Structure 1
């Protein structure tokens, strides 16, 4: 039961940080003027890149921290503070505007590679998602079964993101701008709570 609860918490955390529903309007803006097949290929590549990045963070992130002399409790606290800042931006509506502006600028500057940037990085596998993955993986270190479960959670979140991108037009029409804003604020509050828990866990480990 404990392992299931941890995996459920990992899934919810990643789902909130990646925020698939929020990808819909940004994906539409980044792929404006492209056909459905082209959009599907771009979405598939973006999701593949995002999964590879997050899976790499889950499997090799702890070794990198050790190589840099950073302890897991210290990273828990720093990562929790970073996630809290992202959560506050979600609640205040700053994150959506900033990501939309960044996506528009990236498309203008590098339209051929929008699957990698800005869709995979930083929208799906941004600093928040990488940090969350490292934090969760740190608690599962040394247990291949739990790490496999984390990879499964990452795969499910990325699969949901792919479906949202494919159905982006319909998602935007069904939910509308107002509902997307409300959902972002609600998810921001949930993420803030999880961020505080990460900070508490890190402080408890240090003490």
Structure 2
């Protein structure tokens, strides 16, 4: 059903994108900028990230066909990749890795291209989000209403990230370190369950006795 598909897509992309964690990282990579510059970086980064996810959803399956990779194989591999990302969230390794990426980018270029790297890539539209888009687009099986719904969900999630960027300072004060840690771990558990479901779907599609 379309409602179930939209719910699954929203949960997956929200957990992978993690707007609350992104808001904390956004404060770090835009440290020292004026409020106007921060808004510009947030808007540009959000647009770039959405364009990347849109491209992944539109052309990801075709690219797999050209490479001779079945969707079932990609579901299994993608599920394992998302499971790895979930483990990082649960054991608090993801934030450390993303912070290291952000700090490296600040050293190279603090302002000029910060919206594209590291904000859009790889923080917002990283491997996990791109993988999720390709997997979700594959589950749509070419149905137009499902694909339109998926792109709408992706736009909604990116909009949520943008809003969190604008409210980053307030969110940081409200949640504190403990709040962010608890939220990240809960989201990690949810992502782990979704990742396992992707693997089950992939294995089921290539296992004769499940048909």
TM over 0.5: yes
Match of 2:199 in 1: 199
Q: In 2, Cα distance between the equivalents of 1:93 and 1:50? A: 24
Name the counterpart of 1:3. 2
Equivalent in the alignment of 1:170: 170
Q: Which residue of 2 aligns with 1:35?
A: 34
Compute the TM-score of the two structures, normalised by the length of structure 2.
0.96
Match of 2:64 in 1: 65
How far did 1:24 drift?
A: 1.5
Shift of residue 25 of structure 1? 1.6
**Deviation at 1:117?**
0.5
Structure 1, unpaired ranges of 5+: none
- In 1, distance between residues paired with 2:199 and 2:24? 32
Q: CA deviation at 1:145?
A: 1.2
Rounded to whole Å, the distance in 1 between the matches of 2:11 and 2:21 is 15
The aligned residue for residue 76 of structure 1 is 75
For residue 110 of structure 1, report the CA deviation from its aligned partner. 2.2
Q: Which residue of 2 aligns with 1:102?
A: 101
Kindly provide the CA deviation profile for residues 77-99 of structure 1, in whole angstroms up to 9, marking residues without a partner as x: 00000000000000000000110
Unaligned runs of 5+ in 2: none
Aligned to 2:186: 186
TM-score w.r.t. length of structure 1 = 0.98
Give 4+ residue runs of structure 1 displaced > 4 Å after superposition: none
**1:101 Cα offset (Å):** 1.3
Paired positions, count: 206
What is the CA–CA distance in structure 1 between the aligned matches of 2:158 and 2:141, rounded to whole Å?
22
Q: How big is the alpha-carbon RMSD for the aligned residues of Structure 1 and Structure 2? A: 0.6
Q: Does 2:138 match 1:138? A: yes
